[in-house]
Amino acid sequence: MIHDSGLLKLLWGEAVTHAVWLKNRTPMRVLGGKTPFELVYGRKPDLGKLPVWGTKVYVHSRKGGKL
């Protein structure tokens, strides 16, 4: 899927990290409908600000240096 997406290879690691992040916040039947996140932290994960993969973002650096 990553290969067919056209994503640059240098970003594949980020894609895998994002997939694992999502997996840890997905309810699992074997865990009684809880997420791995809930088992570790004792609360439901906040997915309210979850961006769609591939969304353009901008980073603001307060260091004042040039890009």
Q: How far apart are CA 44 and CA 62, in angstroms?
A: 33
When divided into structural domains, the chain yields a total of 1
pLDDT digits (tens, 9 = 90+) for 6-51: 888 898 898 889 889 999 999 999 999 999 999 999 999 999 888 7
Domain that residue 30 falls in: 1-67
**pTM of the predicted model as reported, rounded to 2 decimal places:** 0.67
Q: How far apart are CA 23 and CA 17, in angstroms?
A: 10
Q: How far apart are CA 31 and CA 26, in angstroms?
A: 11
